[in-house]
Amino acid sequence: MKIFSAAQLHEADKVTAEKHNITSLDLMERAGGQIFAWLHQRMQGAQVPIHIFCGIGNNGGDGLVLGRLLIENGYNVTIYVANFTDKRSKCFLVNYDKVKNITKKWPILMTSEADFPEIHKDDIIIDAIFGIGLNRAPEGWVKKLIQYLNKNKAFTLSIDMPSGMYANQALEDADAVITSNHTLAFQTPKFSFFLPETARFVPFFEVLDIGLDPEYIYTTEPYAQVISKPEAQQLYKPRDRFSYKGTHGHTLVVAGSYGKMGAAVLSTKASLKIGSGIVTTFIPKVGYTILQTSVPEAMVLTDDNENVLSSINYNFNPQCIAVGPGIGTSEQTVNAIKELFKRSKSPIVIDADGLNCIAEDKSLLKLIPKQSILTPHKGELERLIGTWKNDYDKIKKVKAFAKKYEVVVVIKETFTIVVFEDKLYINTSGNQALATAGSGDVLTGIIAGLVSQGYDSLLASVLGVYLHGSAGVLASKQMGYEGVIASDIIDFIPDSYIELFKQEQAPQQEKTETK
C-alpha cells in the first residue's frame, strides 16, 4: 500500500475535486460518513456518551460531520470545538451550521482549561482536533487539552491521525500528542505511524478508502510503501518444475568465531530453508564439527586460524555472500573482510560484526560491492552513519548513505524499513517474538538465500524481511512471544511461504436447524 505525504494528500484532494466534479465538502461528507459507518456497525445504537473534540480545520470538519450523523441516528453525543483561533476552514463552518440546524444541543466552544468537560472512563472520545494540517506543536491550553484527554481512561478514536503528530515530519513535543486507542486514517496510513518515536501513539489503525482519484493514487510516486501480505505475494518468484539445485543459487556464508559458532549455524540453516540450492559456510577451524553436525546439508570451508577469521579463501562463484554473524572485530578479521570485499563480484549481505568491521575501518566502505545489502540494528547503524536528531533525520542520512555507496540498507526495528535510493519500504509482518538472540542472523541467511535464487537485492530485502517477520508470527502463535527462539523462526520459514498464498477464510455462517 502506498503512503502519501501530507502535501500529496492535499494535492489528491484537489485533483479529486476537480476531476470528479465534487466539492471538498462532498469529500468531507464521505470521510465523516465512513467514520460514522465504522462506529455505527460496532455500537449498534448503544447510548454510551460520545465526546467529539473538534479543531477548527478540516479534521474538525470531519468530526462535525460524524457528530451530525450520530445525532441524526439517535446517539448520545456532545460536540466540543477547541476554538483556538477564529480562522476556521470553510468546510468546518458549513458543517458547524449543519449541526446547529439539526439539534438544540449546539457544539460547545472551548476557549480555556476551565471549559474541559468531565469524561467518564466508559465514555468514548473522538479526537478530531488536528489532522494532516498541523503546522506547529500544540501549545497552551490546547496542549493541556490533549494531556487531559490522554489522562482519561476513555476509549479514544482518532480521526485520520492522532492530533499533535505530523504525517511525515519529526515530532516536536511528545507531550502534546493524543495517544489514541484506534486511528481511522483516510486513504493511506501516515509515515509517522511506523517510526520508533511516534508509533506508540498509534497502537492500532485502519485505513478508510474515501475514493480519492484512482489515477492520482496509481500513478503518483509515493512517499513510502507499506509491505504486507498482498505486496509480498507479488514479489514471489515461482520455482521452475525442471530446475535443479544449481538453478537456485550457491550462497557463501562467512560467519562465526570461538563461542559464536551458533550465529554461523543459524544463518546457514536459514539460507537453506529459504531455498538457496547450495550453501557453503566459511568458518574458523574451531567450528568445523559443530557446523557439519548441526547442518549436514551445508558444505564447510575452514580458515587457517583456529578461533577467528583471518583469510577467506574459496574457489567458486557464489550468487550471494552473507558476512558478519558472530565474526568479531579483531584486526585480522577486519583485514580478511577487506580482502573479501575487494575480491567479490557478488552482492554481499553485511550484518552484525560485518558492519562493526566497517565501523572499525571506514576505508572498507568504498570497497563494498554495489547492490550489497546492509542490515544494521540501531546500534550498528549509529556506528556506521553517526547519531541522528530524530527519526526523519535518520532516514535522510540513511538515504544519502545508500545512494553514495549504491547499497540497500535494512533498518531493523519493530517496523523494519528497507531503504534504496529514494525509496522506502516499511515492513508490517513480525512481532515481539522476533526480539530474541540470533533473530538477525536468521534474517541475514534469508536475504542472502533469496539473492542467490535470483531476486535482486531490493526485492530480496523486502521479501526477506516480510517472510522473516511472518515466520516469527507463525511461531509465536504456537509458542507464545516468550517461547520463540531463533531456531524456531527458521523452522517456520516454510510456513511463511505457505501463508503467503493462503486464502483468508470467510467467516462461517451459523447453521440453523430447520427441523
Ligand X SMILES: NC(=O)C1=CN([C@@H]2O[C@H](COP(=O)(O)OP(=O)(O)OC[C@H]3O[C@@H](n4cnc5c(N)ncnc54)[C@H](O)[C@@H]3O)[C@@H](O)[C@H]2O)[C@@H](O)CC1
Ligand Y SMILES: Nc1ncnc2c1ncn2[C@@H]1O[C@H](COP(=O)(O)OP(=O)(O)O)[C@@H](O)[C@H]1O
Report the binding-site residues for (6S)-NADPHX. 58-62, 131-137, 160, 263, 326, 377, 441
177 makes contact with ligand X (CB under 6 A):
no
Measured from the CB atom, the residue of 158 and 344 that comes closer to K ion is 158
Give the residue among 437, 353, 372 at the shortest CA–CA distance from 410: 372
Instruction: Identify the residue among 34, 163, 251, 280 touching K ion (CB under 5 A).
Output: 163
Using CB under 6 A as the criterion, which residues of the chain lie in contact with ligand Y when the complex forms? 352, 377, 412-414, 416, 430-432, 434-435, 437-441, 443
The amino acid at residue 54 is: C
Number of neighbours of residue 44 by Cβ within 10 angstroms: 7
182 close to 158: Cβ distance less than 8 angstroms: yes
- What's the CA gap between 388 and 284, in Å, rounded? 36
6 binds, among ligand X, ligand Y, K ion, none (CB under 5 to 8 A by kind): none
Non-local (6+) Cβ contacts of 431 within 8 A are 469, 472, 473, 476, 481
CA distances (Å), 269 to each of 175, 280, 493, in order? 45, 11, 10
List the x/- string, 36-65, binding to ligand X by CB under 6 A.
-------------------xxxxxxxx---
Round to whole Å and give the CA distance between 390 and 396: 10
Q: Is 158 in the site for K ion (CB under 5 A)?
A: yes
- Decide: is 328 part of the binding site for ligand X (CB under 6 A): no
Q: Which does 440 bind (CB under 5 to 8 A by kind): ligand X, K ion, ligand Y, none?
A: ligand Y
Contact 64, 101 (CB under 8 A): no
Closest residue to K ion using C-beta atoms? 163
DSSP 257-288: -TT-HHHHHHHHHHHHHTT-SEEEEEE-GGGH
CA distance 72 to 66: 10
- Candidates 52-60, 248-256, 334-342, 451-459: pick the segment binding K ion (CB under 5 A): 52-60
Residue window 68-107: x/- pattern of binding to ligand X, with contact defined by CB under 6 A? ----------------x--x-x------------------
Restricted to residues 177-206, the positions that interact with K ion (CB under 5 A) are none
Q: Which does 89 bind (CB under 5 to 8 A by kind): ligand Y, ligand X, K ion, none?
A: ligand X
Q: Indicate the residue among 168 and 356 with the shorter CB distance to ligand Y.
A: 356
- Residues in binding site: 58-62, 127, 131-137, 160, 163, 263, 326, 377, 412-416, 440-441
Q: 372, 457 in Cβ contact below 8 A?
A: yes
Residue 132 or 419 having the CB closest to K ion: 132
Q: In what order do the strands lie in the sheet with 417-420?
A: 2-3, 224-227, 423-427, 417-420, 408-411, 373-374, 348-350, 320-323, 250-254, 278-283, 299-302
CB of 131: closest distance to K ion in angstroms? 5
Residue 37 CB, shortest distance to ligand X, in Å, is 15
Q: Does 9 bind ligand X (CB under 6 A)?
A: yes
Identify residues 107-146 at the interface with K ion (CB under 5 A). 127
Query: Distance between CA 238 and CA 271 in Å, rounded?
Result: 17
Q: What does 31 bind: K ion, ligand Y, ligand X, none (CB cut-off 5 to 8 Å by kind)?
A: ligand X
User: Footprint of ligand X on residues 126-165 (CB under 6 A)?
Assistant: 130-138, 142, 159-160
Q: Which three cell numbers stand for residue 80?
A: 466540543
Cα separation, 354 vs 214, in Å, equals 44
d(CA 128, CA 325): 48
Q: Which residues bind ligand X (CB under 6 A)?
A: 9-10, 12-13, 27-28, 31, 55-62, 84, 87, 89, 130-138, 142, 159-160, 186, 210, 212
Q: Which residues bind K ion (CB under 5 A)?
A: 59, 127, 158-159, 163
